[in-house]
Structure 1
Amino acid sequence: MQRPITTSIPLLSQPSEEAHSTEADLAVAQDLKDTLDAHRNGCVGMAANMIGEHKRIIAFVDEELGGRITLMFNPRITAQDGAYDTAEGCLSLNGERRTLRYQRIEVDYMDRRWRERHATFTGFTAQIIQHEIDHCDGVII
């Protein structure tokens, strides 16, 4: 189900709680995926707090998988390199803001079937994931 986008800075600034293998958290993930899909023309990633849920769940459009929306539960960046400055926008915020990102990241996360995963991402996909993990941490760019 598509949900409204949260724009409250105090709410977005709160760190999110770990997600669990429950029907409730899987429903949040599905709503997040549906909401991202509905905003695909101007958005490439979302975190659960953007739809009012303080859970460590992110969704992003993965161009390397043909534009499929990928879900991650409890993502954590374990390695990063190739720092660069960039400007990013956000569906929850007005305008663009400067931020530091990394060209290559490694991420530990749980998939939809609650299997542990470790993956390396580069380029724009890595940038999207970093932005969404910032949301999970309550970091506003």
Structure 2
Amino acid sequence: MGQLGVMLEILRHPDPVLRLRCTPVTGDPTALARDMLVAMYAAPGRGLAAPQIGVAERLFVMDASWKDGLPDPRVFVNPEIVASEGRQVSEEACLSIPGQARRVARAEIVTLAFDGPSGRRREVFQGFAAACVQHEMDHLDGILILDHDPVA
């Protein structure tokens, strides 16, 4: 749970770290990712990007289904959306912008490439999970839900 067992603090808008374009992860992110998952579940959220805890690296954690009773903690290191299709609109909330949910248009299906323990991987996400991936990817580029035009 963070250094010296302290829960990671989630930064709030307008903290300037939230606006940084993150750099690639070069070291071992295992401990940081574990601590980020603990903070995400405690928040309680479904995704958390490294800049939200003050680390400007291309890393995010996600569990799109745990609130439905199906825990699936995931870690994405140096992720990149390599394909997308379709369109969906959903209401999104953000742990860094509490109380300001916004309807956002996103791709319905995304293919994400990311570094895994055995090398570069690709995985396809649909629906809510695809929206979560895109939301967290935005954080890695300094983009917040407030930057998206609201969709009726």
TM-score, with structure 2 as normaliser: 0.81
Aligned length: 136
Q: Quick one: which amino acid aligns to residue 16 of structure 1?
A: C
Q: Distance in 2 between matches of 1:131 and 1:73?
A: 15
Q: Which has the higher strand share?
A: 1
Alignment of 1:109 onto 2:108: no
Task: Confirm whether residue 127 of structure 1 aligns to residue 131 of structure 2.
Answer: yes
Please show how residues 64-103 of structure 1 align to structure 2 within 5 Å: 66-94=70-98, 95-103=100-108
Identity %: 29
Q: Which runs of 5+ in 2 are unaligned?
A: 2-6, 146-152
Find the counterpart in structure 2 of residue 58 from structure 1.
60
- Contact conserved, 2:49 with 2:60, CA < 8 A, in 1? yes
**Is 1:16 matched up with 2:22?**
yes
Deviation >3 Å, runs of 4+: none
Higher alpha-carbon Rg: 2
Whichever residue aligns with residue 99 of structure 1, its letter is V
List runs of 5+ in structure 1 lacking aligned partners.
none
Distance 2:47 2:85 in 1: 21
Aligned to 1:68, the other structure's residue is in SS state coil
Mapped partners of 1:52, 1:127: distance in 2: 23
Tell me by how many angstroms 1:102 deviates. 1.1
Tell me, in whole angstroms, the C-alpha distance in 1 between the residues paired with 2:104 and 2:118: 31
